[in-house]
């Protein structure tokens, strides 16, 4: 009953097997390994984007911060949701990597930026020499509230941004979960919806620690490589990153893992919603459940070893429960039984 985070889970056997295979023999270092070329080719294919440039890093914070720094100058504003990961959970990595850009916080219910709030924030950000300039947009999908933007929702935001000349990033730490939730293709969710650069997450969905940065405009490729190296995020034994991501894409493993996680969350949400004295805070659309339940349920769950995060705030008993690829129905059902008393 580990619902604390998807990053408390391990990796599925396919990934571990790929790592062990990749360990054989010698391989060129720093991304010159044979598997990396394959990863790029397959991602181009998958995204129907034959010119896209793909680079791997080991953490989501690195992927996001490098992507933002690639498109936003030091004097730029990055428009993001008030509770975006880049704003709340990265200890200022975007500011560090961009050399001082400013995150402008945009409101919106259930973790989703409201288009009118975005428009207002952009317009309020001035264009005189005294102002931090309008820099770029970043959209998190799955959101921090566990909700999902459909491609049309993304396009509504990027259209506003693009009307002001702003490039657009998607923080897809849970990209697979968003695709599974919406049925969208990778292309529909990204460049066809106005996205210039994607953090394509793997770690939360079953890898040991790999994220792909997908840059749809190849003119930026070399600058990205320099920024990555300079930040210490270019791996010498890069083959281990490549191997994980290649296996992740094999036979749709990445989508199957996400499906499993989303399904567990749906089961959990359904059970929770039906409990007396319990409820859901946000619509459950991917692999995270935000809700609340009574104190005695908490006591029993914790006593039985359940791990999850309390969310101190207005609603007593509020929690975040995250399911991962390896959450079982038995875990979910046992947890529901415990909290229902």
Q: Which of residues 236-265 bind a copy of itself (CB under 8 A)?
A: 236-237, 239-240
Candidate residues 52, 95, 145, 242; the one interacting with a copy of itself per rule CB under 8 A: 95
User: What backbone phi and psi angles, to 5 degrees, belong to 333?
Assistant: -70, -40
Candidate residues 112, 227, 267, 298; the one interacting with a copy of itself per rule CB under 8 A: 227
The rounded distance, in Å, linking the Cα atoms of 120 and 109 is 16
The rounded distance, in Å, linking the Cα atoms of 238 and 242 is 6
The rounded distance, in Å, linking the Cα atoms of 116 and 258 is 31
Sorted by sequence, the CB contacts under 8 Å of residue 16 that are 6+ apart come out as none
- Examine residue 101 and tell whether it contacts a copy of itself (CB under 8 A): yes
In whole angstroms, the minimum distance from the beta carbon of 333 to a copy of itself comes to: 18
In whole angstroms, the minimum distance from the beta carbon of 91 to a copy of itself comes to: 4
In whole angstroms, the minimum distance from the beta carbon of 227 to a copy of itself comes to: 8
Judge whether 271 and 263 are in contact, CB under 8 Å.
Answer: no
Q: Tell me whether residue 62 or residue 155 sits nearer to a copy of itself (CB atom).
A: 62
Site residues (CB under 8 A) for a copy of itself, limited to 165-224 = 203-204, 208-209, 223
For residue 217, the surrounding DSSP H or E stretch is none
Candidate residues 60, 108, 172, 297; the one interacting with a copy of itself per rule CB under 8 A: 60
Q: Tell me whether residue 158 or residue 244 sits nearer to a copy of itself (CB atom).
A: 244
Candidate residues 38, 46, 74, 82; the one interacting with a copy of itself per rule CB under 8 A: 74
Judge whether 216 and 52 are in contact, CB under 8 Å.
Answer: yes
Candidate residues 233, 282, 298, 320; the one interacting with a copy of itself per rule CB under 8 A: 233
The rounded distance, in Å, linking the Cα atoms of 300 and 280 is 20
Q: Tell me whether residue 12 or residue 186 sits nearer to a copy of itself (CB atom).
A: 12
Q: Tell me whether residue 137 or residue 207 sits nearer to a copy of itself (CB atom).
A: 207
Candidate residues 41, 45, 51, 100; the one interacting with a copy of itself per rule CB under 8 A: 100
Site residues (CB under 8 A) for a copy of itself, limited to 272-291 = none
Q: Tell me whether residue 55 or residue 298 sits nearer to a copy of itself (CB atom).
A: 55
In whole angstroms, the minimum distance from the beta carbon of 237 to a copy of itself comes to: 5
Angle between helix 13-22 and helix 239-249 axes, rounded to 10 deg: 140
Angstrom distances, CA of residue 91 to CA of 57, 61, 86, 88, 282: 18, 9, 8, 7, 26
Q: Is 42 in a helix, a strand, or coil?
A: helix
Site residues (CB under 8 A) for a copy of itself, limited to 28-57 = 28-30, 57
Q: Choose the binding region for a copy of itself from 125-133, 137-145, 176-184, 286-294 (rule: CB under 8 A).
A: 125-133
Judge whether 206 and 325 are in contact, CB under 8 Å.
Answer: yes
Angstrom distances, CA of residue 57 to CA of 14, 80, 253: 20, 22, 20
- The residues that bridge with 56 in the sheet, in sequence order, are 212
């Amino acid at each position: 009953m580990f619902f604390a985070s998807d990053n408390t889970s391990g990796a599925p056997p396919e990934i571990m097997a790929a790592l062990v295979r990749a360990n054989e023999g010698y391989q060129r270092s720093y991304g010159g390994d044979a598997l990396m070329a394959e990863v790029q080719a397959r991602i181009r294919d998958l995204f129907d984007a034959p010119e896209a440039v793909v680079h791997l890093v080991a953490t989501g914070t690195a992927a996001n911060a490098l992507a933002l720094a690639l498109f936003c100058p030091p004097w730029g504003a990055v428009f993001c949701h008030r509770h975006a990961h880049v704003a709340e959970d990265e200890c200022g990595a975007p500011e560090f990597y961009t050399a001082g850009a400013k995150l402008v916080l945009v409101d919106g219910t259930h973790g989703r930026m409201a288009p009118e709030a975005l428009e207002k924030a952009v317009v309020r950000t001035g264009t005189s020499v005294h102002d931090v300039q309008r820099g770029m947009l970043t959209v998190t999908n799955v959101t921090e509230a566990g909700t999902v933007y459909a491609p049309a929702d993304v396009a509504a935001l990027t259209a506003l941004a693009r009307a002001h000349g702003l490039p657009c990033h998607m923080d897809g730490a849970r990209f697979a979960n968003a695709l599974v939730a919406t049925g969208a293709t990778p292309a529909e969710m990204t460049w066809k919806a106005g996205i210039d650069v994607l953090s394509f997450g793997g770690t939360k969905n079953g890898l040991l620690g790999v994220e792909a940065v997908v840059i749809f405009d190849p003119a930026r490729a070399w600058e990205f490589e320099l920024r990555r190296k300079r930040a210490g995020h270019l791996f010498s034994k890069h083959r281990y990153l490549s191997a994980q991501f290649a296996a992740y894409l094999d036979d749709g493993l990445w989508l199957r893992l996400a499906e499993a996680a989303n399904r567990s969350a749906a089961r959990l949400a359904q059970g929770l919603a039906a409990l007396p004295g319990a409820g859901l805070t946000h619509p459950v659309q991917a692999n995270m459940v935000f809700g609340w339940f009574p104190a005695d349920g908490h006591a029993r769950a914790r006593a039985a070893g359940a791990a999850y995060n309390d969310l101190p705030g207005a609603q007593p008993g509020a929690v975040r429960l995250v399911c991962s690829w390896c959450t079982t129905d038995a875990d979910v059902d046992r947890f529901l039984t415990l909290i229902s008393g």
